[in-house]
Amino acid sequence: MDPVIVVGAGPVGLTLALALARHSVPTVILDEGPGKDEQRPARTAVLREDTAELVERLAGHSFGDADTGARWTGWRSMRRKQVTRELTFSDELPSPLHVPQHVLTGALRAAIAEERLVKIAVESKLDALEQDASGLTAHTRGPKDTWWRGSYLVGCDGPRSTVRKLLDVRFPGRTAVERHAVATLRTELPWPGEALLHRSPPWRDGGAEVTARPLADDGWRIDWLLPPRGELVTPDALVARIRETLAGWCGGATPSYELLDTGVHTVHHRLARRWRVGRAFLAGDAAHLLGALGTQGLDEGLRDADNLAWKLALAWHHGPRPALLDSYQAERRAVVAARLRAADQVLPGLRGGKGLRAYVPGAARGQDTLLMNGHVGNGQLGAPGAYADSPLAPESSDSVVAVDTAQGGPVTDVGVTAPDGSFVRLRDRLGRGRLLVVLVAPGTVVWERRHWMTAGVMPRLAAAVTALPHPAELLVAEAYPGAAAHTVLLVRPDGHLVTTLGGVRPAELYAAAEAALGMAAEGRRRARATGADGGRGTDDASTGSADGASGSADSTSGGPVGAPGSPPDGPSGKAAGSTPNKAASTAPTSGNGGAEAPGVPPGNDRPTG
């Protein structure tokens, strides 16, 4: 089987390659640069708790120390001279991670250097892409013109994505939604470790809004909101802003400071029409641009990589799974679109001078809360999205019970007991290609595992987990937010909740696992295709569209790619993924016994490299 080709060696592309390697999938990264990242302290990223843990887990590197990044102690919002909102971060309310982008990519590159399944081809700029029924061929120019053969390709090549252009995918949206003058400097401020959002500062030429966010080693990134158009930021004008702002915060006298980097950051809002075209995908800035009101485009790009990696791995190892691969666009595009809509709805009130009375009762204080939420990762602007309407969601059942995590949402990182008896965090078990089954069993923490593994519901649940259609790991938690005793949680490899069952329900657990793996959606697709084609059973191809546009995104390959109209994931004339083994339709009715893994084609039906 040919490797997956990742185009682009930024944080999203590097993260995707490492995630695929953890699933034993080989990857080639096409990097048009020299293999080194320019050190720009003014280019930083704010990562939410779960995405920070994702890159730390993949890179094998802990950020947030004195040299690599900062985790804030708190957040404060001010309007003129008054503090309007304060927030203290804690174990219950974790701080975001604020890290320079070159530090992040440096750690990921170091991990890739030790990873035998990932190859980076530097000075390799993509200029052609062809698709056929069994894979793709990409051409790069550089010191040596090269043709590359891959099973799938993911464009992580930024806002001006070559992959997106070759696929002929539109990228509509808004230009210059916000503009910020940016300075990164080293100094001491009166609130060490706390991030600050200051609206309408009281000094002359204070502007409408200024944000200060701590970095490692006494560093700060300061952003001044600029008028949408027209204002030219000269070096002298920026230095004057810095001195005036620092003096305003420090009682009138400008403290000593070391200026590290400056720049102007322009925020665009754009969303690609399609994120999948046959065997090619878009992720990160190639698929979406956002960043107004504190929203973080890189954080969303890392979520793209986490969502796509396990799905590509299943298709790579076990054969074509069109419904599962289609779910990447259906899930991720919907979440990013909702984030963009939320920002676009409130921007006119916040930036247009008319207040937010039409949106948030309470005007000024409500505005400050809204902006804070975007920056720290709460509310509609900042909280991680849930895949509530995912095509991988299981059907409703009377056995489903409610917990504090919504179906499709990211799970809470609770302590669990692993199969070897060790105590670990739930997120530590993610990204390994397995489903996770978590039993909430209060009191088990005081007993050795060997005592309770053979007691109560455990033997029946263990048998049900063994019988699932995909490898799964059984974990036990002392508690989970909102969950009653004996609640069973099914969690995807990317940490999103599939379902929560009241007690051991082998048949419902099996059906939910089938749904999460795309088997149920694939069965419905084949049934529709059979009915529409008069029983011929041909693949109906993936829709590849989350915006209601007509036509099939995968039935034709946009741009200069081959084999238009051929099935995107299987040999020509054969329904992709239509050869499940004999156990595919047989779910267990009890926890006893096992079942063969359905939906895995025999070896001679897998695409060849």
Does residue 552 have a pLDDT over 90?
A: no
Buried b (16+ CB within 10 A) or exposed e, 124-137: bebeebbbbbbbbb
- Model pLDDT, residue 20: 98
pLDDT exceeds 80 at position 367:
no
- Percent of the chain clearing pLDDT 90 (strictly above): 64
Percent of the chain topping pLDDT 70: 82
Q: Give residue 67's pLDDT.
A: 66
pLDDT at 358: 42
Give the distance from CA 276 to its chain's centroid: 16
b (16+ CB within 10 A) / e for 559-592: bebebeebbbbbbeebbbbbbbeebbeebbeebe
Chain position carrying tokens 């179906």: 407
Does the structure show a pLDDT above 70 at 533?
no
Nearest CA to 184 out of 253, 98, 105 is that of 98
pLDDT bucket at 379, cuts 50 / 70 / 90:
confident
Most confident of 305-314, 371-380, 574-583: 305-314
In this structure, are residues 19 and 306 in contact, taking their beta carbons and an 8 Å threshold?
Answer: yes
Strand partners, 150: 136
Residue 604: is its pLDDT beyond 50?
no
Position 541 pLDDT exceeds 90: no
Q: Which amino acid is at 19?
A: A
Residue of 221 and 532 predicted with greater confidence: 221
Mean pLDDT of 501-526: 91
Lowest mean per-residue pLDDT among 59-73, 255-269, 385-399, 589-603: 589-603
| DSSP assignment of 34-70 | -S-----TT-EEEE-HHHHHHHHHHHT---SSTTT-E
Residue 204 backbone phi and psi in degrees, to 5: -65, 140
Q: What is the dihedral of CA 342, 344, 346, 349, to 10 degrees?
A: -170
d(CA 541, CA 274): 14
Judged against a pLDDT cut of 70, whether residue 543 lies above it is answered with no
pLDDT at 288: 97
> Coil, strand, or helix at residue 19?
helix
Is the model's pLDDT at 332 over the cut of 70?
A: yes
Angle at 479 between CA 477 and CA 483, to 5 degrees: 115
Q: Is the pLDDT of residue 194 over 90?
A: yes
All domains of the chain in start order, with CATH: 174-268 (3.30.70.2450), 393-516+583-609 (3.40.30.120)
Segment 401-445, tens digit of pLDDT: 999 999 999 999 999 998 888 899 999 999 999 999 999 998 866
E strands of 58-214, at which residues? Answer: 70-71, 74-79, 82-88, 97-100, 118-121, 125-132, 135-141, 146-150, 152-155, 173-186, 194-199, 209-214
Instruction: For tokens 């065997």, name the residue.
Output: 279
The per-residue pLDDT for 542 is 42
As a whole number of angstroms, the distance between CA 57 and CA 419 comes to 20
What pLDDT is attached to residue 151?
Answer: 98
Would you state the pLDDT for residue 562? Answer: 32
How long, in residues, is the chain? 609
Query: Are 258 and 185 contacting, i.e. CB atoms less than 8 angstroms apart?
Result: yes
Which residues pair with residue 281 across a beta bridge?
Answer: 154, 276
Most confident of 151-155, 377-381, 586-590: 151-155
What is the pLDDT at residue 520? 84
> Residues 364-370: what's their mean pLDDT?
74
Give the pLDDT confidence of 455-505 residue by residue, as tens digits: 678 899 999 999 999 999 999 999 999 999 999 999 999 999 999 999 999
For residue 34, what are its two tokens? 């020299």
Question: Do 514 and 472 touch, CB atoms closer than 8 A?
Answer: no
d(CA 508, CA 589): 9
Average pLDDT of the residues of the chain: 84
Question: How far is the C-alpha of 257 from the C-alpha of 247, rounded, in Å?
Answer: 11
- The per-residue pLDDT for 344 is 87
- DSSP H helical ranges for 114-256: 162-166, 235-249
Q: Could you tell me the pLDDT band of residue 454, with boundaries at 50, 70 and 90?
A: low
Backbone angles phi, psi at 294, to 5 degrees: 85, -5
Q: What is the pTM of this model?
A: 0.85
| Cβ-based neighbour number of residue 446 at 10 Å | 9
pLDDT at position 506, please?
96
Closest CA to 420 of 459, 460, 473: 473
Q: Where are the alpha helices (DSSP H) in 352-411?
A: 363-376, 379-382
How confident is the model over 2-56, as pLDDT tens digits? 999 999 999 999 999 999 999 999 999 999 999 988 899 999 999 999 999 999 9
Q: What confidence score (pLDDT) does residue 292 get?
A: 84
Between 152-156, 247-251, 361-365, 576-580, the lowest mean confidence (pLDDT) is in 576-580
Whole-angstrom distance, CA of residue 267 vs CA of residue 312? 31
Q: Give Cα separations from 55 to 48, 103, 109, 419, 495 (angstroms).
A: 11, 12, 12, 25, 14
Question: Can you tell me the mean pLDDT for 198-225?
Answer: 92
The pLDDT confidence band at residue 361, using thresholds 50, 70 and 90, is very low
Burial label for 369, CB within 10 Å (0-12, 13-18, 19+), is middle
Q: Residue 480's pLDDT is what?
A: 97
Beta carbons within 8 Å of 86's beta carbon, 6+ residues apart: 74, 75, 76, 77
